[in-house]
């Protein structure tokens, strides 16, 4: 049996594990913390703008289990907030146990508190992963989904220091770039001023610390928009964040809160003193990152060069997905790339041609487009997401954006790819 | 060879970050090795880069020299000197660890008379440390003539390699094989092993030091001490080999500490691996320690995989240094 080892248990790693399993592999996920989902434990935004199309493509390609979970766990569906339409907001406190149960039911082996630190290699093939405790895990094909966020030294050098985010590097140890350990240099995202990395784009406030009016409005409508006092408006902050889909004027002039179980504040960080000047937020405190008054995690410091099938360049048996595979933003994008990498891991082990999704699908297009764009400095300063910014504009101009589920189903069927991720290859 | 990360014994202590951070030679942190990104393969639980930046991009204060009264001095024979020194409560506590050592010199001699010395025992209540010194060269000869005070610099900790093996073994049978002046660091190792509920057997050879002063320490902890001639010229004695082999098998030893020369370490590793590779192993660090701070380079040794380490600070598995590779 083919043994696939997935390094990193975030959304992309989980998606990769599921499709690798569906294709017939024996799958192990190595997760450095005690929770699956990584940053997905503090995210929550699905189906906004082009992500609706993306989610439906994932379902039709045969990897819909995770979309089913986020749909089921949604506190709000089909809501609008500045620049974004028909969003779903999943409850971040509910979704991890649901995903964990799904993986167990599928027979996927998950190793928790298992931090990968190095590789063993023979020529250009990885033979195994060395763990922080000195143990060695062998495999046939490896999928790196370690993300590009942190660790502490990077958050310090390129940000405002460790902000104590959900990744909890000080407790569970830092992320190590596996592709780099295998000899492939990382690619780095940049900000508009050319500096490396970008801040994560939101902070989570405890709802219990907000006024009753705000909580009631969040519970019923999912969104609260509050004006920022004029003297505290800071347009420059928009340039620092990863999520260019939220780098809009409205997000500097207003506080945008979304209900994901926490009150998700759509800004990189916000000093407590200033935050508490706003009506209803007089007692606000952060849940994630704990030091959201001061900083946030730094991302995009560790992408692997890869082809459009998500195989890492220069290595025979390493694939990648999620932020490791490019300057992608969001859960939907992570699941999209993860599912393809997982499916291709089994093809790779069998010597079959790898699947490259056609560019008439938005998943195929964003993977290929990002790969073209990052060859230029400007491309390294851009983020790629179905939810907004440059890529959503491209989707619309290419007529790829639709919320018509039937149309998306027909399109995937016409490509001959309906349910392809469900096909057992071994 | 199995993957083995390199640890720094000082990482996360009050002496970290050190001069090596300032010169971009940190043993642990890629950012403090002149690289621009994290590559935390040797993570020790703290971000040294963060500690460094928060400390205004400076090292922490270095270890101080203390003037220590000689409370007891016994010239055991021409080669061996026993000393009991009065130190501070803090220093005695910090030295009450396997692998702890200090630098010692007379008050009147210059800094290059500093000699590294293993702690045989440390008494936190009475604030004393016990030392066994082999009088062998210029520095130890000077010390043997002093009767009142010595300058003690410390604490240092990397006198034992494979210290993590020593820390994990509990409620098991353990074997200490000690020869010559190396019986001194074995005492504090035995103390730790007994504290963890282990039953300790000691094979003791006075060697060139011609003393078995450690016996009373071992026996007071309840260890079984067996007299053994360990070396025959430049190799492990045949009888001793048989005895070690038998005792490991009979008592189902889970951990072995080799306290002697590199020759002894190699011989014992071979026997151990012949019987069961999974038996845990630690040994004394016999490198030439000169500054103790990773600066002078005298302690540099090459591992089996050709990596060079500064062994005054870097912790590695003994088998990466002495094993077959």
| Partner-chain contact A170 B40, CB within 8 Å | no
pLDDT at B1: 45
The answer to whether residue B130 is domain-embedded is: yes
Q: How many domains does chain A have?
A: 2
Q: How many CB atoms lie within 10 A of CB A356?
A: 15
Statement to judge: residues B143 and B216 lie in one domain: no
User: Who's near B185: CB < 8 A, 6+ residues apart?
Assistant: B98, B99, B101, B118, B119, B120, B159, B160, B259, B284
The answer to whether residue B101 is domain-embedded is: yes
Statement to judge: residues B101 and B190 lie in one domain: no
Q: How many CB pairs under 8 A join A and B?
A: 73
Q: Is B52 on the interface with A (CB under 8 A)?
A: no
Q: How distant is the Cα of A14 from the closest Cα of chain B, in angstroms?
A: 24
Checking DSSP bridges between strand A125-131 and strand A45-46, what pairing results, if any? unpaired
| Partner-chain contact A301 B47, CB within 8 Å | no
Q: How distant is the Cα of B172 from the closest Cα of chain A, in angstroms?
A: 22
Interface test with A, best of B1, B2, B3 (most A CBs within 10 A): B3
Statement to judge: residues A381 and A332 lie in one domain: yes
| Partner-chain contact A154 B37, CB within 8 Å | yes
Statement to judge: residues A246 and A264 lie in one domain: yes
Statement to judge: residues A306 and A283 lie in one domain: no
Radius of gyration of chain B (CA): 20
Q: What kind and span of H or E run contains A413? A: helix A405-414
pTM for this prediction:
0.90
Which residue in B has a C-alpha nearest to residue A168's C-alpha? B45
Statement to judge: residues A225 and A182 lie in one domain: no
Statement to judge: residues A374 and A309 lie in one domain: yes
Statement to judge: residues B75 and B125 lie in one domain: yes
Strands (DSSP E) contained in B9-168 are 65-75, 80-86, 101-105, 115-118, 121-123, 128-134, 149-156, 160-161
Q: What is the ipTM of this complex?
A: 0.84
Boundary-marking domain end, from A267, A288, A309: A288
Region B32-47 average pLDDT: 92
The answer to whether residue B305 is domain-embedded is: no
The answer to whether residue B206 is domain-embedded is: yes
CATH code, domain with B188: 3.40.50.80
Q: Is A170 on the interface with B (CB under 8 A)?
A: yes
Residues in A closer than 8 angstroms to B38, CB to CB, are 150-154, 174-175
Statement to judge: residues A154 and A242 lie in one domain: no
| Partner-chain contact B31 A153, CB within 8 Å | yes
pLDDT above 90 covers a percentage of chain B that reads 93
Boundary-marking domain end, from A254, A288, A322: A288
The answer to whether residue A293 is domain-embedded is: no
Q: How distant is the Cα of B163 from the closest Cα of chain A, in angstroms?
A: 14
Statement to judge: residues A225 and A203 lie in one domain: yes
The model's confidence at residue B5, banded by pLDDT at 50, 70 and 90, is: confident
Q: Is A67 on the interface with B (CB under 8 A)?
A: no
pLDDT at B4: 64
CATH code, domain with B135: 2.40.30.10
Q: Is B2 on the interface with A (CB under 8 A)?
A: yes
**Nearest residue to A324 via CA among A5, A11, A2:** A11
Interface test with A, best of B41, B55, B167 (most A CBs within 10 A): B41
pLDDT at A259: 98
Concatenating the DSSP letter of every residue in B195-226 gives: HTT-EEEEEEE-GGGT--THHHHHHHTT-EEE
Statement to judge: residues B107 and B225 lie in one domain: no
Q: Is the pLDDT of residue B325 over 60?
A: no
Structure tokens, B317? 């598995």
Q: Is B263 on the interface with A (CB under 8 A)?
A: no
Statement to judge: residues A177 and A208 lie in one domain: no
pLDDT by residue (tens digit) across B114-150?
A: 999 999 999 999 999 999 999 999 999 999 999 999 9
CB-neighbour burial class of residue A34 (10 A; exposed 0-12, middle 13-18, buried 19+): exposed
Kindly give the confidence (pLDDT) of every residue in chain A, 426 residues in length, as a single tens digit, with 9 standing for 90 and above. Answer: 899 999 999 999 999 999 999 999 999 999 999 999 999 999 999 999 999 999 999 999 999 999 999 999 999 999 999 999 999 999 999 999 999 999 999 999 999 999 999 999 999 999 999 999 889 999 999 999 999 998 999 999 999 999 999 999 999 999 999 999 999 999 999 888 888 999 999 999 999 999 999 999 999 999 999 999 998 888 887 777 667 777 788 888 999 999 999 999 999 999 999 999 999 999 999 999 999 999 999 999 999 999 999 999 999 999 999 999 999 999 999 999 999 999 999 999 999 999 999 999 999 999 999 999 999 989 999 999 999 999 999 999 999 999 999 999 999 999 999 999 999 999
Statement to judge: residues A233 and A321 lie in one domain: no
Q: How many CB atoms lie within 10 A of CB A94?
A: 14
Q: How distant is the Cα of B314 from the closest Cα of chain A, in angstroms?
A: 17
> What are the CA-CA distances from residue B82 to residues B72, B117, B145, B159, B196 (Å)?
8, 12, 12, 19, 28
Largest CA distance in chain B: 59
Boundary-marking domain end, from B133, B156, B179: B156
Statement to judge: residues B279 and B176 lie in one domain: yes
Statement to judge: residues A204 and A175 lie in one domain: no
Find the Cα–Cα–Cα–Cα dihedral B111, B115, B118, B124, rounded to 10°: -30
Statement to judge: residues B173 and B191 lie in one domain: yes
**Nearest residue to B135 via CA among B99, B180, B100:** B180
Q: How distant is the Cα of B2 from the closest Cα of chain A, in angstroms?
A: 7
pLDDT by residue (tens digit) across B233-288?
A: 999 999 999 999 999 999 999 999 999 999 999 999 999 999 999 999 999 999 99
Statement to judge: residues A211 and A70 lie in one domain: no
Nearest to A151 among B5, B38, B45 (CB): B38
Q: How distant is the Cα of A123 from the closest Cα of chain B, in angstroms?
A: 17
Q: What is the DSSP letter of A140?
A: S
Q: How many domains does chain B have?
A: 2
Statement to judge: residues B135 and B203 lie in one domain: no
| Partner-chain contact A150 B38, CB within 8 Å | yes
Whole-number average pLDDT of chain B: 95
Which residue in B has a C-alpha nearest to residue A131's C-alpha? B3
CATH code, domain with A401: 3.50.50.60
Statement to judge: residues B143 and B203 lie in one domain: no
Boundary-marking domain end, from B116, B136, B156: B156
Q: How distant is the Cα of B94 from the closest Cα of chain A, in angstroms?
A: 25
| Partner-chain contact A153 B40, CB within 8 Å | yes
**Nearest residue to A306 via CA among A368, A385, A380:** A368
Boundary-marking domain end, from B109, B124, B156: B156
| Partner-chain contact A157 B49, CB within 8 Å | yes
pLDDT by residue (tens digit) across A352-401?
A: 999 999 999 999 999 999 999 999 989 999 999 999 999 999 999 999 99
Tell me the residue range of the domain where B74 lies: 65-156
d(CA A67, CA A54): 10
Boundary-marking domain end, from A288, A311, A326: A288
**Chain center to CA of B206:** 19
The answer to whether residue B137 is domain-embedded is: yes
Tell me the residue range of the domain where A267 lies: 199-288
The answer to whether residue A273 is domain-embedded is: yes
Category of A98 on φ-ψ map: left (φ > 0), alpha (ψ -120 to 50) or beta: alpha
The answer to whether residue B12 is domain-embedded is: no
Statement to judge: residues A147 and A64 lie in one domain: yes
Statement to judge: residues B167 and B152 lie in one domain: no
The residue to which tokens 């060395």 are assigned = A130
Statement to judge: residues B107 and B180 lie in one domain: no
């Amino acid at each position: 049996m083919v043994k696939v080892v997935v390094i990193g248990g975030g959304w992309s790693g989980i998606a990769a594990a599921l499709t690798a399993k569906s294709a017939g592999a024996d799958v192990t996920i190595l997760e450095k913390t005690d929770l699956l989902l990584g940053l997905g434990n503090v995210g929550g935004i699905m189906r906004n703008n082009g992500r609706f199309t993306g989610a439906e493509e994932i379902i039709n390609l045969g990897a819909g289990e995770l979309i089913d979970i986020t749909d089921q766990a949604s506190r709000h569906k089909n809501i609008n907030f500045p620049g974004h339409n028909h969003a779903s907001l999943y409850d971040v406190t509910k979704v991890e146990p649901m995903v964990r149960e799904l993986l167990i039911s599928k027979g996927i082996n998950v190793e928790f508190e298992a931090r990968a630190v190095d590789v063993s290699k023979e020529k250009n093939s990885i033979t195994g992963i060395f763990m922080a405790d000195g143990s060695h895990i062998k495999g046939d094909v490896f999928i790196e989904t370690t993300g590009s966020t942190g660790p502490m030294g990077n958050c310090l050098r390129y940000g405002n220091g460790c902000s104590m985010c959900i990744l909890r590097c000080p407790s569970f140890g830092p992320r190590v770039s596996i592709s780099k350990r295998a000899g492939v240099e990382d690619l780095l995202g940049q900000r508009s001023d050319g500096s490396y990395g970008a801040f994560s784009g939101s902070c989570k406030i405890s709802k219990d610390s907000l006024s009753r009016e705000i909580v009631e409005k969040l519970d019923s409508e999912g969104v609260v928009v509050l004006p920022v006092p004029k003297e505290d408006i800071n347009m420059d902050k928009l340039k620092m964040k990863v999520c260019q889909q939220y780098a809009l004027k409205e997000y500097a002039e207003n506080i945008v809160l979304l209900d994901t179980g926490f009150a998700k504040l759509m800004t990189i960080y916000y000093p407590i003193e200033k935050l508490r000047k706003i009506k209803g937020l007089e007692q606000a405190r952060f849940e994630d990152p704990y030091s959201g008054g001061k900083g946030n995690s730094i991302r995009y410091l560790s992408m692997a060069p890869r082809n459009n099938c998500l195989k890492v360049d220069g290595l025979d048996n390493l694939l990648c997905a999620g932020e490791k595979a490019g300057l992608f933003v969001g859960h939907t994008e992570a699941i999209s790339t993860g599912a393809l990498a997982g499916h291709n891991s089994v093809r790779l082990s069998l010597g079959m041609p790898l699947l490259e999704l056609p560019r008439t699908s938005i998943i195929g297009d964003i993977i290929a487009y990002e790969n073209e764009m990052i060859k230029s400095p400007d491309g390294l300063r851009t983020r790629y997401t179905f939810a907004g910014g440059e890529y959503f504009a491209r989707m619309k101009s290419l007529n790829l954006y639709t919320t018509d589920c039937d149309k998306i189903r027909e399109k995937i069927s016409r490509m001959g790819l309906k349910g392809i991720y469900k096909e057992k290859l071994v | 060879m199995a993957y083995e990360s390199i640890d720094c014994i000082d990482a996360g202590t009050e002496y970290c970050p050190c001069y090596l951070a300032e010169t971009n030679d940190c043993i642990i942190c890629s950012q403090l090795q002149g690289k621009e990104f994290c590559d935390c393969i040797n993570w020790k639980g703290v971000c040294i880069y963060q500690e460094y930046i928060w400390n205004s991009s400076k090292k922490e204060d270095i270890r101080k020299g203390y003037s220590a009264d000689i409370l007891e001095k016994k010239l055991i024979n021409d080669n061996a000197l026993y000393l009991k020194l009065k130190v501070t409560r803090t220093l005695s506590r910090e030295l009450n660890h396997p692998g702890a050592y200090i630098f010692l010199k007379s008050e009147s001699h210059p800094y290059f008379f500093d000699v590294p010395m293993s702690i045989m025992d440390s008494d936190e209540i009475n604030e004393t440390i016990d030392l066994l010194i082999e009088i062998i060269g210029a520095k130890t000869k000077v010390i043997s003539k002093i009767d009142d005070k010595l300058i003690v610099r410390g604490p240092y900790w990397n006198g034992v390699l494979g210290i993590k093996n020593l820390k994990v073994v509990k409620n098991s049978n353990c074997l200490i094989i000690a020869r010559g002046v190396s019986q001194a660091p074995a005492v504090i190792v035995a103390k730790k092993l007994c504290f963890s509920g282990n039953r300790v057997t000691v094979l003791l050879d006075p060697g060139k030091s011609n003393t078995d002063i450690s016996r009373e320490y071992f026996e007071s902890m309840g260890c079984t001490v067996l007299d053994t001639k360990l070396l025959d010229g430049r190799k492990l004695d045949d009888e001793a080999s048989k005895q070690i082999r038998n005792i490991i098998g009979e008592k189902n030893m889970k951990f072995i500490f080799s306290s002697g020369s590199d020759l002894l370490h190699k011989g014992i590793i071979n026997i151990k691996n012949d019987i069961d590779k999974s038996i845990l192993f630690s040994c004394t660090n016999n490198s030439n320690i000169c500054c103790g701070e990773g600066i002078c380079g005298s302690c540099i040794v090459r591992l089996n995989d050709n990596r060079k380490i500064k062994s005054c600070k870097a912790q590695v598995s003994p088998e990466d240094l002495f094993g077959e590779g």
